[in-house]
Amino acid sequence: MYRRKKVADDLLKDAAEVFAYTAELLAAGDAVREAIFTCYQDLCGLLQQRGFLRRDFETVREFEFAIRQALQGVSEDALTALDNTFEMARYSREEMGAQHQEVAVQALTRMSGEIAQIQAIPNR
């Protein structure tokens, strides 16, 4: 039981760090699409390391399922905003500007905030 909680806590902590770092990059003016896609790749790596996502996954749906399993307690709205941000960066052909940057920062900040709330709950 303790080990499972530690693994879950470590995953939450690592995911929150990825979200916070990406939000900082975007706030500093880094390339929007590149920063978001790097965040997606980093999350895929975390999910694969912890057995939530297979190494040769093929679809966005597999990623969406894995992140929902891994980050239980995060609201569906926050996860959907994150999914939409990743899909926009990966599949959209339009140039990503300040509006996209703002939407991405909001989604990433929301994820970080919800993870912080989950971590603040004692003995969950």
Supply the DSSP string of 36-75, one letter for each residue: HHHHHHHHHHHHHHTTSS-TT---HHHHHHHHHHHTTTS-
DSSP state of 30: -
pLDDT band at 105 (very low <50, low <70, confident <90, very high): very high
CA distance 27 to 92: 21
pLDDT at site 123: 65
pLDDT band at 5 (very low <50, low <70, confident <90, very high): low
Q: Are 37 and 49 in contact (CB under 8 A)?
A: no
**DSSP string covering 75-99:** -HHHHHHHHHHHHHHHH--SPP-HH
Structure pTM? 0.88
What is the CATH class of 2-120? mainly alpha
Tokens of 102: 């703002």
Query: What average pLDDT does this structure show over 9-38?
Result: 94
Mean of the per-residue pLDDT values for the chain? 90
